[in-house]
Structure 1
Amino acid sequence: MTYAIIETGGKQIKVEPGRFYDIELLSAQPDEKVTIDKVLLVQHNGDVTIGQPLVTGAKVEGTVLRHLRGRKVLVYKMQPKKKTRKKRGHRQEITRLMIDSISLNGSVLATGETTEAPAPAQVSEVDSEVGTVPPPEALETNAEEAAVDTIEASATTEA
């Protein structure tokens, strides 16, 4: 597993290729590529590279998916005994960023895997026989035969 810790918007975020993250608003447009050079740590197959403070030559590349607004945070101020009350709301502007790749010293360590839908599996004859339901006519005849067998069995036990 490859991951990196980046700094953006005054926050440190652990990112992995192929995942998206909500970060502080970036000035890039949707579907635009973004390169983040403030990489604090890179981990690839057990090898950890720690920066002091940044890892030299490390880059994280991503694509801006869209811009949106976060949840509303309510702020309520009041002064006791003064009849002063203020209720305000705030919604932070955020950017949804899809991480495409993590690279170190020019070599790409990991990229986001784009998996396609798997092809439907071949159904064998055994599986098709087990999973099928008999037609309703067959069920009716089986029920009639079972009723006749029950009547015959009760008649033989009485005799």
Structure 2
Amino acid sequence: MSYAIVEMGGQQIRVEPGRFYDINYLGVDPDSSYTVDKVLLVNDEEEIRIGQPFIEGAIVEGKILEHRRGRKIIVYKMRPKKKTRKKRGHRQELSRLMITAIKIDDKVIAEDSEGVPVVATEITTPAVKSATEEE
């Protein structure tokens, strides 16, 4: 399983091809491609490459799926014994980014094969015979 650690939106994120991530808002239209050149680490099947601070020639390609808003956070300020109260809410603007490929010097390290977001799949268990079936 190949992955990369990239810096985007003021955060360091571990990304894998075929998965989507909610990051701080990027001013890019939905359904457009987006490349990240601030790659800190790339873990390939054979080796691990670490940048100082970034890896030269490494890029992570992705596609903006949609823009959305995060969960609401309540900010409540109160000054005791002064009858002063302020209640405010905040919702962070987010962009959903689907990672399509990890490349170093135009060589594809890892790539999403289908372009479909990875969703938790249902685990199937082998059939177990009940006591009535065994008789």
TM-score w.r.t. the length of structure 2 is 0.83
Letter in 1 for 2:23: I
TM-score w.r.t. the length of structure 1 is 0.71
> Does 1:99 find its partner at 2:85?
no
* More contact order relative to length (CA 8 Å, sep ≥ 6): 2
Q: Which has the higher strand share?
A: 2
In the alignment, what sits opposite 2:86?
Answer: 86
In the alignment, what sits opposite 2:41?
Answer: 41
Instruction: Note the 1:56-95 alignment, pairs <5 A.
Output: 56-95=56-95
CA contact (8 A) 2:18 2:115 kept: no
Measured after TM superposition, the shift of residue 46 of structure 1 is 3.8
- Residues in 2 aligned to 1:24 and 1:41: alpha-carbon distance in whole angstroms: 21
- Residues in 2 aligned to 1:10 and 1:115: alpha-carbon distance in whole angstroms: 26
In the alignment, what sits opposite 1:155?
Answer: none
- Residues in 2 aligned to 1:46 and 1:12: alpha-carbon distance in whole angstroms: 23
Letter in 2 for 1:60: V
Unmatched runs of 5 consecutive residues or more in structure 2: 117-135
Unmatched runs of 5 consecutive residues or more in structure 1: 117-159
Q: Between Structure 1 and Structure 2, whose CA radius of gyration is higher?
A: 1
Q: Percent identity?
A: 59
Instruction: Work out the number of aligned pairs and report it.
Output: 116
- Residues in 1 aligned to 2:44 and 2:106: alpha-carbon distance in whole angstroms: 15
In the alignment, what sits opposite 2:3?
Answer: 3
4+ residue runs of structure 1 moved beyond 2 angstroms? Answer: none
Letter in 2 for 1:71: R
Partner deviation per Cα, 1:102-141 (whole Å, 9 max, x = no partner): 001110111112189xxxxxxxxxxxxxxxxxxxxxxxxx
